[in-house]
Amino acid sequence: MTELENKLNHILEEHQHESGLHMIGGRRRLIDRLVKFFEEDLHGKDEIRSSPASRDN
């Protein structure tokens, strides 16, 4: 598990405990989807920053 996955897992575990929530579909699958979303978002921002058009502004 990556550091991001570990942090998300811990936060979600605390939230479930505090709220008494029972998640349908599993915490692991939700964490995988969130990590994928954040990694794609960060990767997209890196591409925008490195594009020649962004340096002209």
Across 3-42, b (16+ Cβ under 10 Å) vs e yields eeeeebbeebeeeeeeeeeeeeeeeeeebeeebeeeeeee
Average pLDDT, the chain: 76
DSSP state, residue 26: -
| 8-26 mean pLDDT | 78
| 4-30 mean pLDDT | 79
Give the integer Cα–Cα distance in Å for 57 and 53: 7
> In this prediction, what percent of the chain has a pLDDT beyond 90?
0
Going 47 to 49 to 50 to 53, the CA torsion angle's sign is positive
